[in-house]
Structure 1
Amino acid sequence: MPNAATEKKVDEVVAACARYGATSIIALAGPPATGKSHVALIAAQRHAGLPSRVREIQFHQSFTYEEFVEGLRIDSSGAVNHKAGVFLEVNDDATADPEHNHVLLIEELTRANLGAVLGELLTYVEHRERSFRTLFGGTSVTVAPRLTILATFNPVDRSALNIDAALLRRLRIIDFLPDSGQLADMLAAKNPPLPQIVVERLMSIFTICKEKHPKEYDTMVPFGHGVFSEIASEADLYPLWEQRLRRMLYRPLQDPHTFASTIEAAYPWTDPNFRLVP
């Protein structure tokens, strides 16, 4: 069962799916470790009613229209046949089951060349009363009324900065930012729970960043509360800095992240011997 803070975000996403899923792509946008994938999967299963009515995929730079909508395949005899991609498979399931919601969950939406991958779907996801013909098979397709496309992406990825107006107009974007409530609930659920003084110090990192970088915070915060999900004790906080956080803030041959000095000053566990709780 999700904690109270996470439950609130799940409810927000489910409500968006119910209200806008028949005409828009519901997109959860935020930096790494803000719980996008976790919330998206819970929300997708709730909206669909059963896990079997949810299909998960992840976009990447080499993902193609042929994989997503329809492509050509050579069979064992050497003949060339058209083959349905992921979207058409899910759409067929949703079309055959009009009494229930179905969800296609796309992780890392903006990592692919979206114009090339989505093709004509940009229009027909919105206008589901109209049909289109697939590129290779010439099959007439109508997007199922109860098929919802739910997606996640990092808005500061270089590929995300190139989202064109046609796609942007068809997205319903829900922001996922670091959440002190989710962080507190997550760390309180540890067994044993982290000391409250440690939890409060970790929560303060995001507060300080927001105070010092108010204009940049929503778009530039480098990570979210989920980056602390594997912490079992205060002793884990120095290795987290050394092995992960420092690498995110100070990358070779690049300028330090805008928040780097602020986070380093607010994060005392850069010293391997530091302990708030002796």
Structure 2
Amino acid sequence: MSPAASATPYSGCKRCRTISRAGSRRAGSRRPGPGRPCHMPRRLGSMSFMADKARRRGEIQRSIFEALLEESEGMPVGEVLARAEEILPANPSEDQDYEGKPGVRRYPKVQRFATIATVKAGWLTKDNGTWRLTAAGREAFERLPDPTAFEKEARLRYQEWRAQQPSAQFDSADDAEDAEAAQLEKSDEKRRAWLVRGANVDGVNVLRQWFDDGFCSVGWTELGDIPAGVKRADIAEAVQRGYPDASVGTRRVMVGNLHRFLNEISVDDLVVTVDGADVVVGEILGDAIYTGEPLVTRRRPVSWINADSPFVRSRLSSDAADGLRGQLTVSELTSHLDEFATLGGFEDAVDLPALDVALDAPTQALADSLLLPLDWLHDTVDLLNEKRQVVLYGPPGTGKTYLAMELCKSLVESAGGEYEVVQFHPSYSYEDFFEGLRPRLDKDSGGSIAFDLIPGPLRRMAQRAADDPRSPFVLIIDEINRANLAKVFGELYFLLEYRGTSVALQYSEEPFSLPRNLFIIGTMNTADRSIALVDAAMRRRFYFQRLFPTEQPIKGILGAWLDRKGLPNEPAVLLEALNNAIGDPDFAIGPSYLMTTRVGHEAGLERIWRTAILPLLEEHFFGEGRDINAEFGLAGLRRRTAAHPAEVPSESEEADIPPDAQLDPEA
């Protein structure tokens, strides 16, 4: 750039200065010419918009406070919001419903959203739906009549509170309502946040150049100029030509990074980059520019907010910090936008703790219906909330799948979430579980074969969970150990441990992360495969809960069930004797085979023993030359236990016995 150019009147505009420094004909064509306004007013306008946003939030806060000034005992929330709206009516935007949510009017949610900072500032209390001003809140209302000043102090006090509670969650009913309002406001916000890496570009740290000249960039000089807005297919062709020797996976990742940088990042979006422990945040000011310069070939102008005073990543929540560990050059961080904006120093940022969805505690009624101890159920749910992945393991008939589904029916569906069951088997693959290419007949091209990328059950559930972050979603994987887990999970192993972190997928180059409100419950049959043989990586990523017939909580469950049904206890005695004779906990027989009213009659008990239990033992002891019927049949077990058969009903009586809804014998 010539000295004359650097002395132009618009050289004070950081956006124009960034563009003019690009040094290409294309960049130069974007500079303001005669009669064309400088970019400075747009930037000032942006800051003015941010200030207007903060002032409006302050006006809403003060209208709520004004509605409560004369109510020393407080007032129900519905009345507070209605009275506050009389004081400060909704503007046209606030008076509309949220996009895609007919019937959900914005203004009441905006009002609730505005109160979050005042509650954490100690100015407003919310107790079982009743709102009341504190003495500090009344003092702040009188002391800070300017809405902007009022909002700013509330926000600062909120940030102080937030800094002391990095894992704060919404846990009361009022907090949950506020969380919903915050989530709706976030989803209605068009701004997005992106991670762009520059600390190691072919072994070179280019971040200082980014900060000094006001831009972020990606490289790949060999590809030449790829204009913004070009289709993904055209980017893929350019990558194929520029890097013909690269692997298919490498090219897919490259295409995804370029597509996001050129086409998905928008003006006013946040951009985040990391240099060791330091985190720097900026704002995107313009479209992508091609310079042809090595290492920084494609640039987007950026106003770096905290380049001179970066914050350390340890100040981030664990999920936001995980997002910075992604493996992609360009990945999305929008779910943590507020956190990065606040720590980065944006004027209009309001930091909110992420809504960390957890499964509710099980009730005594659920424990009674399952005949399981309440403390054991509490422990299982706590493990699931902590790790997000649990495997229930034990021999056949211990009710693993049944228990998983009953937990979901009680704790997930009641919370507005969903669950789905998928069963693994030896031929199950990554393409079945997550995503894969499926052939179809393309009639438009004369009947040739085309391939579509089809999502599997995990990707579908992850999308549902991401679309509804306030509700729990559970994927139950039955017989999880029957598949080749390393092949089925692939790169998803990493995501099980680092929720919120993005990785590049095998088939689609899009970044993907597992939402924290998606839980996974696996069931594992130890008669098929011992837990000791399970992939070590798998064992590190799941908590394991034992369900064995000879141990609590399963031991004694059959006797309790028979007692509840008013049936003889003999089947429980026989089952205990059988498992003692087997002598191997991994191959013990679970109680669900006998949890049917048919076992109260000799013919029914004999049929179950002959057709369900003895065949399992024949398979287990195959080739050992043992007489299974003599060793484990009813007659031999009765001799050893001195047990006596129940009264044998007539054929007509047995025909009238209805089958019971029982535990799945194969669970």
Shorter-normalised TM range: 0.7 to 0.9
Is the 2:396–2:527 Cα contact (8 Å) retained in structure 1?
no
Equivalent residue in structure 1 for 2:433, among 61, 68, 89: 68
In the alignment, what sits opposite 1:40? 404
Is the 2:423–2:479 Cα contact (8 Å) retained in structure 1?
yes
SS in 1 for 2:469: coil
Is the 1:70–1:134 Cα contact (8 Å) retained in structure 2?
no
Deviations along 1:183-224, one digit per CA (max 9) or x if unpaired, are 12332444xx323xxx1x3222354466667xx543331x11
SS in 2 for 1:166: helix
Equivalent residue in structure 1 for 2:590, among 224, 227, 230: 224
User: Aligned runs of 1:75-86 on 2, under 5 Å?
Assistant: 75-77=440-442, 78-86=449-457
d(CA) in 1 for partners of 2:573, 2:559: 11
Shift, 1:245, TM fit: 2.1
For structure 2, the 5+ residue unaligned runs are: 1-364, 443-448, 649-667
Query: What's the % identity of the aligned pairs?
Result: 24
d(CA) in 1 for partners of 2:406, 2:378: 9
Q: Aligned AA for 1:261?
A: E
Q: From the superposition, tell whether residues 217 and 6 of structure 1 become closer, same or farther in structure 2 (CA, over 3 Å).
A: farther
Equivalent residue in structure 2 for 1:29, among 360, 371, 393: 393
Deviations along 1:216-253, one digit per CA (max 9) or x if unpaired, are 543331x1111112342322122222222222223484
Q: From the superposition, tell whether residues 4 and 227 of structure 1 become closer, same or farther in structure 2 (CA, over 3 Å).
A: same
d(CA) in 2 for partners of 1:245, 1:116: 33
Is the 2:500–2:515 Cα contact (8 Å) retained in structure 1?
no
Q: Are residues 1:254 and 2:623 paired?
A: yes
SS in 1 for 2:421: strand
Is the 2:367–2:374 Cα contact (8 Å) retained in structure 1?
no
Deviations along 1:19-69, one digit per CA (max 9) or x if unpaired, are 444635211111111111111101122332348600111111111100111
Q: Aligned AA for 1:53?
A: E
SS in 1 for 2:606: helix
SS in 2 for 1:125: helix
Is the 1:22–1:126 Cα contact (8 Å) retained in structure 2?
no
Q: Aligned AA for 2:567?
A: L
Is the 1:59–1:110 Cα contact (8 Å) retained in structure 2?
yes
d(CA) in 2 for partners of 1:161, 1:19: 20
User: Aligned runs of 1:164-179 on 2, under 5 Å?
Assistant: 164-178=535-549, 179=554
Is the 1:17–1:47 Cα contact (8 Å) retained in structure 2?
no
Shift, 1:85, TM fit: 1.2
d(CA) in 2 for partners of 1:125, 1:157: 24
Q: From the superposition, tell whether residues 174 and 161 of structure 1 become closer, same or farther in structure 2 (CA, over 3 Å).
A: same
Q: From the superposition, tell whether residues 206 and 240 of structure 1 become closer, same or farther in structure 2 (CA, over 3 Å).
A: closer
Q: From the superposition, tell whether residues 99 and 75 of structure 1 become closer, same or farther in structure 2 (CA, over 3 Å).
A: same
Equivalent residue in structure 1 for 2:567, among 186, 191, 194: 194
TM-score normalized by the length of structure 1: 0.81
Q: Aligned AA for 2:596?
A: E
d(CA) in 2 for partners of 1:2, 1:263: 35
Shift, 1:83, TM fit: 1.6
d(CA) in 2 for partners of 1:15, 1:180: 18
User: Aligned runs of 1:132-143 on 2, under 5 Å?
Assistant: 132-143=503-514
d(CA) in 2 for partners of 1:155, 1:87: 24
d(CA) in 2 for partners of 1:155, 1:253: 17
d(CA) in 1 for partners of 2:574, 2:369: 18
d(CA) in 2 for partners of 1:170, 1:33: 25
SS in 2 for 1:54: strand
Q: From the superposition, tell whether residues 69 and 13 of structure 1 become closer, same or farther in structure 2 (CA, over 3 Å).
A: farther
SS in 1 for 2:567: coil
Q: Are residues 1:238 and 2:587 paired?
A: no
Equivalent residue pairs, number:
264
d(CA) in 2 for partners of 1:11, 1:257: 42
d(CA) in 1 for partners of 2:581, 2:530: 27
For structure 1, the 5+ residue unaligned runs are: 269-273
Q: Are residues 1:54 and 2:419 paired?
A: yes
Deviations along 1:82-106, one digit per CA (max 9) or x if unpaired, are 2211100000000111101110011
Equivalent residue in structure 2 for 1:131, among 481, 502, 517: 502
Q: From the superposition, tell whether residues 23 and 126 of structure 1 become closer, same or farther in structure 2 (CA, over 3 Å).
A: farther
Q: Whose RCO is larger (CA < 8 A, sep 6+)?
A: 1
Q: Aligned AA for 1:184?
A: G
RMSD value over aligned CA atoms? 3.1
d(CA) in 2 for partners of 1:44, 1:11: 18
Query: Computing the radius of gyration over CA atoms, which structure comes out larger, 1 or 2?
Result: 2
Is the 2:436–2:455 Cα contact (8 Å) retained in structure 1?
yes
